[in-house]
Structure 1
Amino acid sequence: MKLLWKLLRSHLSVAQTVGFALAGVVGMTVVLTALQAYRDVMPIFRAPDSFVRGDYLVLSKRVGTLQTFGLGSGGFNEEELRDLRKQLFVREVGAFVPADYRVKGSVSAGGVGFSTYLFFESVPDRFLDVETETWRFDPAQREIPIVIPRNYLNLYNFGFARSQGLPQISEGLFRRVTLDVELSGAGRSEHFRGRIVGLSNRLNTILVPESFIRWSNERFGGGSGAKDPLRVIVETDGPADERLAAYLSSRGYEAEGEAPDDGRAARFVRLAASAVAAVGLVFSIMSFYLLLLSIFLLLQKNSRKLETLSLLGYRPGRIALPYVALTLGLNLAVWCGALLLLWAIRSRYLPLLETMQEGYTPSGVGLALLCGLVLALLLTALNAAAIRRRIGRLGAGKE
């Protein structure tokens, strides 16, 4: 091996070798950085509190003419719910259950009284974004825990209170407000105490526990039996899935807040990462051909020596071994150089990502390391095959 290397390295061009190494490092760095940056950014999209997250969608059907005249339910029947649950991008489906009776709420503050009709709904507890230990109802205590949308408080503070000359209310004080709730229906009318236990950013409705809805519908409802839900909440794999938007459009379903459009940001990140990786692959292919061309020129310059070695009984694989070792060493050096540059680039953008999400945890670099190594070994294997073939043809006197 050493004697063969000393014999064959005399015409090795340092400039060509350095050129290959630089092109290879640039190409592999671009590929690995695109892959790793995509993996580091996606946790921000998938976080429950992400500004581009849309895992929970509230779906309803478009209101048509029949519903306007009181014909047709406009709800989701069992077959439609089963079909929704079967979709690969859907994790879970929950139905909104409305109160089937009249609700009136009253509150007094600073000598001023407010009274208005309300509506109650419930959803399965797993879909709540409010953690509370008091989310239960006991008929003996006559107290109803209530979760309202946070934007209700914002509308009061920044709209109604300002226009009426009333004081603004902090979130802590708002949670201490007690409502006098009157439920009436089925020939009954009873008073309860309502207590606000949380503010929801996810659901734009007045929520009460499922146990209370079931109990109160039996007591005050019309007794017409179970009805098809008019709205459902869906936990998905994220609105970035193009299949979701297509499914909603084909079924005529509407999503509150147009959440599926938030997935455009995630799709843009995926597209940008793919484009950058493609540019890196182009550089890697260019470096592969540059190294192959350099070795072919070296083989051509050493053609007489190669023919002599073949006549002395050296097999093409043995003669090619020094060149393959050179190729492997250069590709591994390119891999190491790309990893160093990846570490430097990553150390610059990770602090920025950490400021975008509290408790942010970046993805590991194991996949990038493995992909870089696989790319280096693949290029080495292709070079080795081409070198052996070239040496075989030179040894046979075909060129």
Structure 2
Amino acid sequence: MNLIWKLLSKHISKGQLLGFFFANLIGLTIILLGFQFYIDVLPCFTGEDSFMNDDQVVLTKAVRSSSVVSGQTNLFSPDDVEDLRSQPFVESLGVFSSNEYHANATMSIEGNTIFNSEVYFESVPDEFVDIDKSQWNYAEGDRVVPVLLPRSYITMYNFGFAKSHSLPTLSDGVLGMVDISLFVQGDGKKEVFTGKLIGFSNKISSILVPQSFMDWTNRNFSSQSHSQPSRILVHFDNPASKEVTSYLEDHGYEVDSDQMNNEKTAYFLKLVVALVMVVGALISALSFYILLLSIFLLVQKNEDKLENLLLIGYTTRSVAWPYQMLTLVLNVGILLVSICAVFILRGYYYDYLLALSPSLDKSSPMLMIALGVGVVLVLSMLNFIVIHNRIQQIWYSKRRNNGVVS
């Protein structure tokens, strides 16, 4: 085999092989990086909420210009709620309660105030919050109130305030670093409570407190009658069913915009990654074609030697093997370098993903590696088949020229 390699390797063009190597390296790296990026980023938009079931959706009434002119509100009446509750595709339903008094919140980390503003409390029945009830409760007289914050709060803090003030970024694992004070005022009374941060949720846009705390504070700090809800939390048996979609459209109900935006973002992400991977596949296909041209030129230059080797008894397989091994070594080398490049590039963008979604679990790269191995196996098999067929053509052509019938 070494003798065959020495005979056939004299006309190898290192420039052509390097051209193939780098072209295929770029193409394969684009494919693998696009695939890994998609796996890493998708959970930021479609990951399950830690505190609310994925089949629970927040409904609001659509606000249209005709509604404004006619004086219609976007509030759900008791009849609206009961009609929705009676539908066969609704497993359970809860209304959002809101505070009827003034509320302010101050949040600080390591003594640095990061938030101080008037806020809006909301609550839902406790069975809709997937938290240990020993942590999610409030009894009259307690000075500590468990709270859930919108995940957008932590995103704004990590990307904006933390970097500019040299403060640590937050994740779900270091919630104790956040000090929260809640100021409640109304009906001539004032109270200050300490907020205990339980976690963050994608399905809320305000500070969520236990239902018992909301009921008690509304009774004690407001003389107003409770207003009708503007949002409803519904647990559907299948949110994507035609019955649900048709009912929502007929009644002018909308799924919370944040959830819709996440779905649209996930779809756009899939589209962009697919386009990027197609570009990478085209580059790899072109580099594959370049390699075949290089091998064919090499075979053409060594045609006399190949014919002689075949005539003295070497098999087509043994003569084709050096060229096949050359392509295999190149492809394996490209795969290894591509995987290393993906790991390096992944390190640059993953910190930003953690800032965007601190609870994000680092996904395994095994699927990306498996994809790379699969691509290289397919390319190598094609190379093996094409090279073997080319050597066979030379052998059959030689036999025909010598008048030998196969």
TM-score (norm 1): 0.62
Match of 1:133 in 2: 135
Aligned to 2:388, what secondary structure does the other structure show? helix
Aligned to 1:94, what secondary structure does the other structure show? strand
Aligned to 1:76, what secondary structure does the other structure show? helix
Match of 1:95 in 2: 93
Compared CA separation, residues 135 and 142, structure 1 to 2 (3 A) = same
Deviation of the 1:208 alpha carbon: 2.8
1:233 maps to 2:234:
yes
Amino acid of the residue matched to residue 94 of structure 2? F
Match of 1:289 in 2: 289
Match of 1:368 in 2: 368
Match of 2:153 in 1: none
- Residue of 227, 245, 248 corresponding to 1:248: 245
Return the alpha-carbon distance in structure 2 between the equivalents of residues 127 and 198 of structure 1. 16
Long gaps (5+) in structure 2: 103-121, 151-178, 216-230, 402-406
Return the alpha-carbon distance in structure 1 between the equivalents of residues 22 and 147 of structure 2. 60
**Mapping 1:18-97, distance limit 5 Å:** 18-46=18-46, 56-59=56-59, 75-76=83-84, 78-81=86-89, 94-96=92-94
Match of 2:167 in 1: none
* Contact 2:60 2:232 (C-alpha < 8 Å) held by counterparts: yes
Return the alpha-carbon distance in structure 1 between the equivalents of residues 333 and 39 of structure 2. 25
Deviation of the 1:127 alpha carbon: 2.9
Return the alpha-carbon distance in structure 2 between the equivalents of residues 71 and 349 of structure 1. 48
Match of 2:115 in 1: none
Match of 1:208 in 2: 211
1:274 maps to 2:274:
yes
Amino acid of the residue matched to residue 275 of structure 1? L
Amino acid of the residue matched to residue 95 of structure 1? L
Between stretches 28-37 and 40-49, larger displacement belongs to 40-49
Aligned to 2:345, what secondary structure does the other structure show? helix
Between stretches 120-129 and 328-337, larger displacement belongs to 120-129
Amino acid of the residue matched to residue 270 of structure 2? R
* Contact 2:59 2:255 (C-alpha < 8 Å) held by counterparts: yes
Aligned to 2:58, what secondary structure does the other structure show? strand
Aligned to 2:254, what secondary structure does the other structure show? strand
Return the alpha-carbon distance in structure 2 between the equivalents of residues 273 and 36 of structure 1. 10
Return the alpha-carbon distance in structure 2 between the equivalents of residues 236 and 29 of structure 1. 42
Return the alpha-carbon distance in structure 2 between the equivalents of residues 73 and 43 of structure 1. 34
**Mapping 1:184-203, distance limit 5 Å:** 202=204
Between the aligned residues of both structures, percent identity stands at 28
Aligned to 1:59, what secondary structure does the other structure show? strand
Long gaps (5+) in structure 1: 83-92, 108-119, 152-169, 181-194, 213-229
* Contact 1:339 1:369 (C-alpha < 8 Å) held by counterparts: yes
Deviation of the 1:311 alpha carbon: 2.0
1:240-270 Cα offsets, whole Å, 9 max, x none, are x9x5899636742422446313322222222
Q: How many residues align?
A: 315
Amino acid of the residue matched to residue 312 of structure 1? I
Deviation of the 1:196 alpha carbon: 10
4+ long deviations beyond 4 Å: 46-50, 60-65, 70-74, 104-107, 128-132, 145-151, 177-180, 195-201, 203-207, 243-247
* Contact 1:146 1:198 (C-alpha < 8 Å) held by counterparts: yes
* Contact 1:94 1:124 (C-alpha < 8 Å) held by counterparts: no
Compared CA separation, residues 28 and 235, structure 1 to 2 (3 A) = farther
Compared CA separation, residues 97 and 38, structure 1 to 2 (3 A) = closer
**Mapping 1:246-395, distance limit 5 Å:** 248=245, 251-252=248-249, 253-257=253-257, 259-395=259-395
Deviation of the 1:393 alpha carbon: 0.9
Return the alpha-carbon distance in structure 2 between the equivalents of residues 98 and 19 of structure 1. 63
TM-score (norm 2): 0.61
Compared CA separation, residues 98 and 296, structure 1 to 2 (3 A) = closer
